[in-house]
Structure 1
Amino acid sequence: MLKWDKTGISNVDGELSLVAGLVLWATTFPRIRRKMFEVFFYTHHLYILFVFFFVLHVGISYASIMLPGFFLFIIDRYLRFLQSRSGVRSLFARVLPCQTVELNFFKCKGLSYNPTSIIFMNIPSISKLQWHPFTITSSSNLDSDKLSVVIKAEGSWSNKLYPLLSSPSPVERLDVSIEGPYGPASTDFLRHDMLVMVSGGSGITPFISIIRDLIHKGLTSKSKNIPQVLLISSFKTSTDLTILDLILPISGAPSQLSSFGLQIEAYVTREKHPMNQEKKKIQTVWFKPNPSDAPVAPILGQNSWLWLGAIISSSFSIYLIFIGILTRYYIYPIDHNTNKVFSLSSRAVLHMLFICVVIVITGTAAFVWNKNTNERETTQIQNIEGTTPMASPNSWYSNADRELESFPQQSLSQTINVHFGERPDLQRFLFERKESSIGVLVCGPKKMRHEVANICSSGLAANLHFESISFSW
């Protein structure tokens, strides 16, 4: 038997909400969150029960304090759900001998994102439930119709992906769903005279997108204030050096890119001299197109802020109108505010139901409208150009094949200095630079990030501006 107080509120609701909150809190400890991430991730879906029982316990009047944030969260979560239900078109994968793959997807030209943005990816053939975040390595400006991510085989999920693509008979079709991109609203790297990027292992991936974006600005902008780039990368073995071949874009002219000031200092820490082995080439795996797949596109189209504002305002207005009509013409004539027929808990349930219904209606309408618009625009572009990956895959693939085989390696050969059996002297690299403003970006192990932070904050060089890019979950 549930015990109700005089206002019709169940004490059990508060206890259940408290239990759900304690479970959420217990799984946030770093030891659980990092070593048992799936436990942390799936347990946090209990927030639904936590919010539900919390509203039942305190009533909709008190819960209105958190209504604006809760309303926006439901809209965001539902739009992400709609985007994740659609498959995206996989173009090709570049398989590196260092247990790393680069996945490339077809995207609409209206999709724009900033460097260091991420996407959440799901591959049903590996796991239907797991979604993993990856840094986008392509530039939305330089690669107008392609989005790429680099994945290194380091966990159970990625260790299942690599054999699928590196085997003698790789998969012919790769079904992928994507959420995003998500990223910073702006990145102003041009304010510095020079950028020093320090990476360890797979921490080089966010710097690939930054370098490509700077290349685009250097090729299109008349300004000469494009900062020079010094990339300091540490790897365990010489095989890992092949990831440097992914830095430059597939398309472009080497003569134009030679003017871009890029210097790479690569350190191989576990080998004292170059291995006398034949360098393995990057393997390219092409995927057959699936007619049901669509290019990666912004979920609400190019005018996403206007559409989002329309969803928020219209759904909230409809919610207020519906709940007002229900209260005035149905609840009040029966209950007369006595809470004997319709308790505060039952009213809270009605409010939550109406909120979810109006968000589903308005969000679905906006999503379907923009999806149809994107499909029409994509079809028009195909008919005009006639050589897109969907319209004429053979010609597009063959042209890209020639670029993949020759371009990156030829352009990078003169910019890389490889050091074996040692670690980079980061203090020397940073203190010897005399530019007035140096942006120091670091992505890698925690120890490396702390070392660079201590150097920049030592006060011995006033021109160093530190920024850490960390992907610890």
Structure 2
Amino acid sequence: MGDQKIVKRSPSQVKYDMILYAIRLVVLVVLLGWIFIWIMMPTSTFRQTWLPHLRAKTTTSTYFGSQGTTLLIYTFPVLFIASLGCIYLHIVKKANDSNMDRCDNKNDAKGGKVTIWKRPFIVKGPLGIVSGTEVAMLLMFIGLLVWSFATYLHNFFALITRKSAAQFGVKVWELKLEDAGLILGLVGNICLAFLFFPVSRASPVLPLLGLTSESCIKYHIWLGHLVLTFFTAHGISYIIFWAATNQISQMVKWEKIGISNVAGEISLVCGLILWIATIPGIRRRFFELFFYAHYLYIFFMIFFIFHVGISYASIMLPGFYIFMVDRFLRFLQSRTHIHLVSARVLPCDTIELNFSKTHELSYTPTSVMFINIPSISKLQWHPFTITSSSKWEPEKLSVVIKSEGTWSKKLYQMLSTPTIDHIDVSVEGPYGPASTNYLRHDSLVMVSGGSGITPFISIIRDLIYLSTTFKYKTPKILLICAFKNTSSFSMLDLILPISGTPFEISNLELQIEAYITRDKEFKSNTLINLQTKWFKPNPNDAPIYAILGPNNWLWFGAIISSSFIIFLILIGIITRYYIFPKDHNTNGIFSYSLKALINMLVMCVSIAIVASVGVLWNKKLSAKKGNNQVQHLEGLSPTVSPSSVVYYNNGGNHNVELESLPSQLIAQATNVHYGERPDLRKILFEIKGSSVGVFASGPKKMRQEVAAICSTGLTENLHFESISFSW
């Protein structure tokens, strides 16, 4: 206790903390209320007492009708949370930029009672590596599904008797089958309501919970399987019911009022095709089929809304609404051609792409960026880890691409062509955690396999910047990297950036243990310098920029809230002066499908207008600052990379003369082991320190091995985190 430092907090820090605490409290209350609605939804109390009471107040409205109830209790709370989350994340970002939180969380990682829920609870199996918190949340969600299914089943079946079945001209089991099919659809709708939250890359909801879209892909996969399982069972139940009761003609009916069967069948077929394409064998062998099949989600959602009507679909709207805002902003960003400054071609079929970026664009270590190269494929977008540090390299952004799939192999071949001097590139992102604080650990152990080293490069570069610029006491770093052959060892050269930015790494306590698993000894024929290609700037190219400027979270919140308000105003006007008069005249009720189509069009127009205004406004502000980075970079084309490849064997007898002091320091910190694999258990158990951050990135088996070691409970100081970007 005596050696702990007391960190004095400034008045501004206290003020920020109070605001953040207030936002968290409001968000928690609203979130619990929203979850409580989902819990009560299948009960008789909700359906027979609460819902009729709410509808009595809203259905009589000439502006929204029955849709107003679902918008009020299901859509509004989530969009309110998202808007508050944007304010919260903006404050956190400002605090990080001013280095206000650099040491305040030093003791956060040391509380064993707190972090026990973050430890790996399951390390193998279909769920992958899952922490105790994730298991608890998964069990609660499954509990919600079981509760909903059982409650619906009990309430619906209680009304089924021989007399009621006879009134419909069917048997008891047939009526129960019809109700069971309906219940399966209702439970599937719960999963659908959460399906799009994990794939909204710039969503404020995920970082508000300490999550990233990359780490949540597995949740999207789980929910996707549940959605299509329930919807398939829902469809099969109705087909059997119709066949048993001689109503098979119901399959081709598209009712003007109520449920549209044909729309539901089209939605289900689109979902099934998408589902089949996600089978691991198909996804690996035919990635393009998997990729293109995912675009069927558009038709899946459109016909789903036609199937159930816009009023009921509003229950599932909030997650999809945030996704649409995010998707349209990504579309606007992808229209710009980005300036590719240079590429480093490694002898291990790996390349590093260096892009120009604006000073205002900042991102955290381990962030990813999606890249599209139209000359290879106009539709394919692939995510890659960013290796640069936005603080250390304010005008440069780098990603590393391993030549493994068809797309990356074509890119590697393209860059190997001597005559090529320009490539058209579009990007989306960067996307990453809202904040990171590696300084809270005494030591960092980074375990990587192959190209899994790339996210650790960004962490190391960021720590070099902090130790150099602010003289921070950075954690001790142990980088354990395993490569198949000697040529892959050249990836260590990427630790140092290609730019001429001055840096000093002597203050960084770095140790690298490199394992070459397939080569038994040092091979001199692999001593090949990095090839560096420099590209000519194109006047139409632009640096990578923040699509919504430096205050992107505030703008994102403004787009969500203002577009939804515009949507409500337009729908209210259309309902009052177009839909309501037709609903209450002698011609009957307004077509459900047409009403759904109008709502979808108005929603898309509202989002498109507001998002476009936000992007154009920020682009105008950026233009006023005079961003001439592409022209400035012209002519800056050194002929060689700042560092050369270095190899060592166990005894350190094979050395290559290095060109710079930083390269020499990296070489001195490196030990190479040929023909063996790291003994991770021994290494991790020997690490000293009250708090040790253990990060694993690379092959699935390797990450599972590290997770299993950290989950044993034999060491309280190991805090595990898996970094995986594979789907």
| One-letter code aligned to 1:300 | L
The equivalences for 1:283-302 within 5 A come to 283-302=531-550
User: Could you say which residue in structure 1 is the equivalent of 2:621?
Assistant: 373
User: Could you say which residue in structure 2 is the equivalent of 1:35?
Assistant: 285
CA distance in 2, matches of 1:332, 1:133: 47
1:273 aligns with 2:517: no
1:172 aligns with 2:421: yes
| One-letter code aligned to 2:446 | M
1:462 aligns with 2:716: yes
- Aligned match for 1:231, one of 479, 490, 493: 479
User: Could you say which residue in structure 2 is the equivalent of 1:14?
Assistant: 264
Greater RCO (CA < 8 Å, at least 6 residues apart): 1
**What is the TM-score with the length of structure 2 in the denominator?**
0.61
The equivalences for 1:236-385 within 5 A come to 236-250=484-498, 251-253=500-502, 256-277=504-525, 279-336=527-584, 340=588, 342-379=590-627, 382=628
Cα RMSD (Å) of the superposition?
A: 2.1
- Aligned match for 2:688, one of 434, 456, 470: 434
**What is the TM-score with the length of structure 1 in the denominator?**
0.92
- For structure 1, which runs of at least 5 residues remain unmatched after alignment? 383-387
User: Could you say which residue in structure 2 is the equivalent of 1:192?
Assistant: 441
Q: Does the aligned pair in 1 maintain the 2:256–2:592 contact within 8 Å?
A: no
- Aligned match for 2:637, one of 394, 397, 403: 397
Structure 1 residue matching 2:527: 3-state secondary structure: coil
Structure 1 residue matching 2:387: 3-state secondary structure: coil
Structure with the larger strand share: 1
Structure 2 residue matching 1:88: 3-state secondary structure: coil
- State the 1:21 CA deviation: 2.4
CA distance in 1, matches of 2:468, 2:256: 72
Give me the identity figure in percent: 60
| One-letter code aligned to 1:362 | V
User: Could you say which residue in structure 2 is the equivalent of 1:414?
Assistant: 668
Structure 1 residue matching 2:546: 3-state secondary structure: coil
Structure with the larger helix share: 2
User: Could you say which residue in structure 2 is the equivalent of 1:385?
Assistant: none
- Aligned match for 2:407, one of 140, 157, 161: 157
| One-letter code aligned to 1:186 | S
CA distance in 2, matches of 1:222, 1:412: 19
CA distance in 1, matches of 2:520, 2:381: 39
1:110 aligns with 2:350: no
Structure 2 residue matching 1:38: 3-state secondary structure: helix
| One-letter code aligned to 1:397 | S
- State the 1:335 CA deviation: 3.9
**Which is further off, 201-210 or 426-435?**
426-435
1:451 aligns with 2:705: yes
1:86 aligns with 2:349: no
Query: Could you say if the C-alpha distance between residues 22 and 164 of structure 1 is closer, same or farther in structure 2, counting changes exceeding 3 Å?
Result: closer
User: Could you say which residue in structure 1 is the equivalent of 2:190?
Assistant: none
Query: Could you say if the C-alpha distance between residues 402 and 138 of structure 1 is closer, same or farther in structure 2, counting changes exceeding 3 Å?
Result: closer
| One-letter code aligned to 2:719 | H
Q: Deviation per CA, 1:124-180, whole angstroms, max 9, x where unpaired?
A: 12111211110000011111110000111111111111122223x141001110001
Q: Deviation per CA, 1:413-459, whole angstroms, max 9, x where unpaired?
A: 21111111111121221122222211111111122112212222223
Query: Could you say if the C-alpha distance between residues 280 and 6 of structure 1 is closer, same or farther in structure 2, counting changes exceeding 3 Å?
Result: closer
Query: Could you say if the C-alpha distance between residues 338 and 4 of structure 1 is closer, same or farther in structure 2, counting changes exceeding 3 Å?
Result: farther
- State the 1:404 CA deviation: 5.1
CA distance in 1, matches of 2:350, 2:452: 13
CA distance in 2, matches of 1:116, 1:236: 23
| One-letter code aligned to 1:177 | S
Q: Deviation per CA, 1:78-105, whole angstroms, max 9, x where unpaired?
A: 1111111111111011111111111000
Q: Deviation per CA, 1:345-384, whole angstroms, max 9, x where unpaired?
A: 11111111111111111111111222232233243xx4xx
1:183 aligns with 2:432: yes
Q: Does the aligned pair in 2 maintain the 1:122–1:178 contact within 8 Å?
A: yes
User: Could you say which residue in structure 1 is the equivalent of 2:209?
Assistant: none
User: Could you say which residue in structure 1 is the equivalent of 2:14?
Assistant: none
Query: Could you say if the C-alpha distance between residues 389 and 55 of structure 1 is closer, same or farther in structure 2, counting changes exceeding 3 Å?
Result: closer
- State the 1:38 CA deviation: 2.2
User: Could you say which residue in structure 1 is the equivalent of 2:381?
Assistant: 131
Structure 1 residue matching 2:478: 3-state secondary structure: strand
Q: Does the aligned pair in 2 maintain the 1:449–1:468 contact within 8 Å?
A: yes
CA distance in 1, matches of 2:387, 2:585: 59
CA distance in 1, matches of 2:332, 2:355: 19
- State the 1:35 CA deviation: 3.3
Q: Does the aligned pair in 2 maintain the 1:124–1:176 contact within 8 Å?
A: yes
- For structure 2, which runs of at least 5 residues remain unmatched after alignment? 1-248, 645-658
Q: Deviation per CA, 1:247-297, whole angstroms, max 9, x where unpaired?
A: 12344556x311211111111111111113262111110000011111101
The equivalences for 1:50-65 within 5 A come to 50-65=300-315
Q: Does the aligned pair in 2 maintain the 1:9–1:343 contact within 8 Å?
A: no
Structure 1 residue matching 2:359: 3-state secondary structure: coil
| One-letter code aligned to 2:445 | V
User: Could you say which residue in structure 2 is the equivalent of 1:215?
Assistant: 464
CA distance in 2, matches of 1:108, 1:260: 28
The count of corresponding residues between Structure 1 and Structure 2 is 461
CA distance in 1, matches of 2:253, 2:454: 56
| One-letter code aligned to 2:360 | G
- Aligned match for 1:143, one of 393, 397, 402: 393
- State the 1:71 CA deviation: 1.8
**Which is further off, 151-160 or 26-35?**
26-35
